[in-house]
Structure 1
Amino acid sequence: METLFVKNMVCNRCILVVQQEIERLQLTAKTIKLGEIYFESPLTASQKTALNNALTPLGFELIDDKKSKVIEKIKNTIIDLVHYQDGEIKHNLSDILSRELGHDYNYLSNVFSEVEGTTIEKYHIAQKIERVKELLVYDELSLSEIAYRLNYSSVAYLSNQFKKVTGLTPSHFKQIKEDKRKPLDQV
């Protein structure tokens, strides 16, 4: 089995686009998930090149080096936790990342900070704030329900963090509703 890592593959639509390109190239992937493609057997160098050439114009990129793979796996794990596992986080982020990536959290934190120029915690907060924005725009949940869903200890803590990051209170953001959201790969 061979695993390829793909940069900027951050949502279910991304998975579909990558899957279409794989099928168009007549390759067969066993599993495709955020940032990763699993093949039953190794691809040839020319197949990898063709896949990378097909993905690059679409905003994706195959990742070769170890640090970039670790960074992308950290990002995709956080995106999955924040955007697709509402209220499911019952452990510390550091424990989850260590378990998922099979590395000590200090190593992960140092690599992430070195390459990205920010901390894992700040990246996690940025993702949570983007999710809060999304849920505010949908206007289906109260702020209290959003706080619970994203594992904030209180509405006040969510509001303070939201204002610190965006400069707006959640209620003010909800009022203006102009598109203040960023694509996940630009957070």
Structure 2
Amino acid sequence: MVKEELKKLGLHYLVLELGVVELLEDITKDQRLELKKNLSKSGLELMENKKSILIEKIRNVIVEMIHYTNEIPKVNYSDYISEKVGYNYTYLANIFSEVKGITIQQFIIIHKIEKVKELLIYDELNLTEIAYKLHYSSVAHLSNQFKKITGLTPTFYKKLKEKRKQSLEDL
């Protein structure tokens, strides 16, 4: 999609990756507006603000790390994010908090709890296995975070889903 839009505008790129385009030439104001308009029609956004781009990179690293990899890295999240994004973690953490209004750690916890919910619903792993898979120090730690974020215990959450499923089957 992005490739086609650049081609239509006669723009040549050196790098075209998910979320990043490096052009070989300068882009005119009209080309920029046209690209922005055409990308938004497809639900894409042209980000020009360096902070927004950095936040999006951090967000993508976290989402990929928690939701789309089979094994969450065993290194500190701060080291992992810093290495993937290519900036000092303190700098990233300050910008993230300033723009998003929450810390990177809070963002990670929210996503880990979403992953726990998903794993509970699939019912393939028990709580001990989920805690291990997501690198919680204990089931108690996972349960405390889960309750803090959702207001429910993992066991109660799972029972709610089972009751809902039974109710739907009775229709």
2:76 to 69, 86, 92: 92
Mapped contact 1:87–1:151 kept (Cα < 8 A): no
1:126 aligns to 2:118 (yes or no): no
Structure 2 CA distance for aligned equivalents of residues 44 and 54 of structure 1:
15
Q: Deviations over 1:16-36 (max 9, x none)?
A: xxxxx3366474986543xx2
For residues 163-174 of structure 1, what are the structure 2 equivalents within 5 Å? 163-174=147-158
Sequence identity (%): 46
Letter in 1 for 2:79: D
> C-alpha root-mean-square deviation of aligned residues, in Å?
2.5
Would the alpha carbon gap of residues 131 and 50 (structure 1) be closer, same or farther in structure 2, given more than 3 Å must change? farther
Which moved further from structure 2: 117-126 or 81-90? 81-90
Q: Distance in 2 between matches of 1:57 and 1:174?
A: 39
Q: Residue deviations 1:121-140, cap 9 Å, x none?
A: 00010111111111112222
Match of 1:138 in 2: 122
Higher RCO, Cα 8 Å, sep 6+: 1
Secondary structure at the aligned position of 1:63 is classed as coil
* Aligned position for 1:10: none
Please identify which structure carries the higher helix content: 2
1:110 is the counterpart of 2:94: yes
Distance, in Å, in 2 between the alignment partners of 1:64 and 1:26 is: 16
Structure 1 or 2, whichever has the larger Rg, is 2
Shift of 1:58: 4.5
- In the alignment, the residues of structure 2 paired with residue 144 and residue 31 of structure 1 have an alpha-carbon distance, to the nearest angstrom, of 42
Which residue number in structure 1 is paired with residue 60 of structure 2? 76
- What is the identity, as a one-letter code, of the residue corresponding to 2:2? I
State the SS of the aligned residue for 2:46: strand
Tell me the SS of whatever aligns to 1:62. Answer: coil
The answer (yes or no) to whether the contact 1:86–1:150 under 8 Å persists in 2 is no
Q: How many equivalent pairs are there?
A: 156
Q: By how many angstroms is 1:102 displaced?
A: 2.0
Partner Cα separation in structure 1 for residue 6 and residue 53 of structure 2: 25
Q: Which amino acid aligns with 2:85?
A: L
* Shift in alpha-carbon separation, 1:68–1:40, aligned structure 2, 3 A: closer
Q: Please, what TM-score do these two structures have when normalized by structure 1?
A: 0.71
**Ranges in structure 1 where 5+ consecutive residues have no aligned partner:** 1-20, 179-187
Query: Higher strand proportion, which one?
Result: 1
CA contact (8 A) 1:152 1:158 kept: yes
Per-residue deviation, residues 7-51 of structure 1 (Å, max 9, x unmatched): xxxxxxxxxxxxxx3366474986543xx2446855845665444
Could you say what secondary structure the match of 2:121 adopts? helix
Matched, 1:101 2:85: yes
The answer to whether the 8 A contact 2:119-2:130 is kept is: yes
In structure 2, C-alpha distance between the alignment counterparts of 1:105 and 1:135, rounded to whole Å: 29
